[in-house]
Structure formats: C-alpha cells, structure tokens
C-alpha cells in the first residue's frame, strides 16, 4: 500500500502477471502512481489482476509489442488502461471503473484490438470511455461504456480503424466522436443515455457509418468538413433538432451518400448545408417539422425518399442543380416540396 508503482518491468520479454492485487499506488510524482507498468517490453501478458485506488493508470504499456491485457478488474482508479506506441495488442474483457480522466487509451498503436470491455465513468472529472489517438488498424468492438463521460468513444487522427458492436450509454456531449480520422468503419453500435450528439465527425474522410441506433438526442449524427462518406441503414429517430446534419465537405470526387436511414419524429430529419454532389436515397423522414432540407447544397440527388406528415416535406434553399426522383411528401401542413432561390431543379414522379 501507498507505493509509487505496484509492479514495474523495463526492457523485458515474456513477462506474465496474473492473479495479483495492486492496491493504493499513491504518489505526488506525475510519472508514477501506476498499478502495473511495462516500459519497452515485448510478449507480455496481464491477466486476472485487480487494481484499486491508483492515482495514475492502473495498467500502462509504454512501447514494446505483442501485449495482452485480459480479464482484469480496475475499480476506483484515476485512469484505466493505456497503451502508448505498442504494436500488436489485445485489450479484452476488462472491468474498468474510472474516477478521473480516461477509461482505456491507445496512442500511436498499430494492430490493437479493444474487445468486450466494460468501462464506467464514476465522476464528473472523467473524460472518455475508450479513445484512439493516431492509431492504425485498430478495433473497438463489443464494448460497453457508461457513466458520466463527455465522450463515450473518442477517435483523433489515425486510419483504418473500426468501431463496431459497442453499447454506449453515457451522460455528456458525444456518444461516438471522430476528428481528423480516415477510413473508419462505424457499424452496429447502440448509443443511449443523455448526450447532445449520438455521432459526431469533423475533418474526416472515407467513413462508412451503418446499422447504428442513435435515438432521442439533440442531434442523431452531425458531420462537418468530411469527405467520401456512406451513411446507411441507421436509426436516428426522435432527434430534437436534427436527425442527420451534414455541413461542408463532400464534392464531386469525394461525395456523400445517405441511404436507407430512419430519421423520423425529429426537428429536421436530414439537413445538408453547403455541401455538393450528395445522394439521398430511400430515407424515411416522416413526422418531422421539416423532413429533408437542402441549404446552399448544389447538385443533390434525392431519390425515393419519404417525408410524409411534416410541416414541410422537402425544402430547397439556394440549392442549384438538384434532382428529385420519386418519393412521397404527402399530407404536409405547409408544403410538400418548397423551393427558394434554387435554379435548374428537376422534379419527377414525386407524390
């Protein structure tokens, strides 16, 4: 008890730490306070340990390769698990209850998977549940994240990462957050709790967002300055302000496609602002204040979408070169389809 670090290993290989209890690592030195710490180690395994009352990360790996952190319990810890510049790692089925900072944090890692963990933010001082910063070929898969966390999952930079099958139920601003990230698969996640944004992405590219459920938030999904995006088969119903909101980004070479999404009972089902060369197909935006709204969004194709029982079904404002083919915009209180300052618009077969 009351030691700087529980277990340390430096420049070692094939170290196994199992079935140990590390309690009350408490220090005023910022570089200490770890439960289990590896520095430049390879082929290491940390399994079935219990870390409690740590003032820094419960388990940390700095450098090295082939690291596994499996089935550990971390309660009343300031931060849970950190992997820093590690290649080939597995973080699986850990139970992390953090009181300050970060649940699981990977920085500059390559081929690391975070699978089946439970992360709980216990106080208002926590930051994110699981985060990837400048990582490559990593996966956040089938994790459960809850509690008081401004960010459920947080991805900053990196490429070829996967976020799938997670359940996020946090109280904060963002369920799933991306910035400056590329080639990211965001699939089959469920975001609940009390957050402003179910999903948020900024300055990101080559995103595939599919099969997610993100209902009852202020914004179901918001993307800004993002390119080459496919959004399909998501449910963002009951979004108080906007179901899917995209501003800036897109373009003829890196377009945005929005297909087969449910955006019902929202303020605006789908809002596009100042983007171009976008395709909307088979989306259901019924029972909204405004079903679909295009504002200064050029060359947009709207195919077979539904926005029935809205105040305004489809609204185009200063959105030249758009095409509306098929679809249903029936029983609107004000207008089924309304155009303002939009030139060269083609409407065919709409009801």
DSSP assignment of 179-194 equals ES-EEEEEES-EEEEE
DSSP secondary structure letter of residue 342: -
Q: Is the pLDDT of residue 1 over 50?
A: no
Decide if 251 contacts 274 (C-beta within 8 A). no
At 251 the pLDDT is: 87
pLDDT digits (tens, 9 = 90+) for 300-335: 999 999 999 999 999 999 999 999 999 999 998 899
At 27 the pLDDT is: 53
At 278 the pLDDT is: 95
Q: Is the pLDDT of residue 336 over 80?
A: yes
Q: Phi and psi at residue 32, in whole multiples of 5°?
A: -120, -165
Q: Is the pLDDT of residue 348 over 90?
A: yes
Q: How far apart are CA 48 and CA 64, in angstroms?
A: 21
At 104 the pLDDT is: 97
Decide if 313 contacts 334 (C-beta within 8 A). no
Mean pLDDT computed over 262-281: 96
Residues above pLDDT 70, as percent of the chain: 96
pLDDT digits (tens, 9 = 90+) for 107-146: 999 999 999 999 999 888 888 999 999 999 999 999 999 9
pLDDT digits (tens, 9 = 90+) for 23-58: 866 555 545 678 899 999 999 999 999 998 876 889
Q: Is the pLDDT of residue 11 over 80?
A: yes
Q: Is the pLDDT of residue 166 over 90?
A: yes
Q: Is the pLDDT of residue 339 over 90?
A: yes
Query: Closest Cα to residue 144, out of 194, 93, 100, 107?
Result: 93
Q: What is the pTM of this model?
A: 0.94
Q: What is the mean pLDDT of the chain?
A: 93
Tell me how far CA of residue 293 lies from CA of 88, 194, 303, 323, in angstroms: 45, 26, 14, 13
Residues above pLDDT 90, as percent of the chain: 82
pLDDT digits (tens, 9 = 90+) for 192-219: 877 899 999 999 999 999 999 999 999 9
């Amino acid at each position: 008890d009351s030691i700087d670090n529980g277990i340390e290993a430096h420049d070692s290989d094939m170290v196994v730490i199992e079935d140990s209890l590390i309690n009350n690592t408490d220090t005023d030195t910022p570089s200490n306070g770890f439960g289990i710490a590896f520095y430049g180690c390879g082929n290491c395994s940390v399994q079935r340990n219990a870390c409690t009352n740590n003032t820094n990360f419960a388990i940390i790996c700095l450098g090295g390769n082939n690291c596994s952190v499996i089935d550990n319990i971390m309660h009343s810890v300031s931060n849970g698990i950190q992997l820093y510049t590690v290649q080939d790692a597995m973080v699986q089925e850990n139970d992390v209850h953090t009181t300050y900072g970060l649940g699981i944090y990977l920085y500059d890692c390559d081929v690391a998977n975070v699978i089946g963990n439970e992360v709980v933010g216990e106080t208002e001082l926590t930051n994110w549940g699981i985060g990837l910063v400048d990582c490559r070929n990593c996966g956040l898969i089938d994790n459960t994240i809850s509690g008081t966390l401004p960010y459920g999952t947080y991805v900053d930079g990196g490429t070829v990462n996967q976020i799938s099958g997670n359940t996020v139920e946090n109280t904060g601003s963002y369920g799933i957050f991306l910035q400056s990230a590329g080639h990211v698969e965001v699939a089959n996640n469920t975001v609940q709790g009390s957050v402003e944004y179910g999903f948020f992405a900024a300055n990101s590219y080559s995103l595939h967002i599919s099969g997610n459920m993100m209902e009852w938030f202020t914004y179901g999904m918001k993307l800004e300055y993002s390119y080459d995006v496919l959004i399909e088969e998501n449910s963002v119903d009951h979004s108080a302000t906007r179901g899917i909101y995209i501003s800036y980004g897109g373009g003829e070479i890196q377009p945005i496609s929005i297909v087969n999404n449910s955006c019902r009972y929202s303020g605006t089902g789908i809002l596009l602002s100042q983007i171009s060369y976008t395709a909307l197909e088979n989306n259901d935006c019924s029972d909204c204040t405004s079903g679909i709204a295009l504002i200064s969004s050029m060359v947009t194709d709207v195919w077979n979408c539904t926005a029935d029982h809205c105040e305004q079904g489809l609204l185009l404002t200063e959105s030249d070169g758009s095409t509306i083919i098929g679809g249903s915009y029936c029983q609107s209180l004000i207008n089924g389809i309304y155009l303002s300052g939009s030139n060269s618009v083609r409407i065919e077969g709409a009801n």
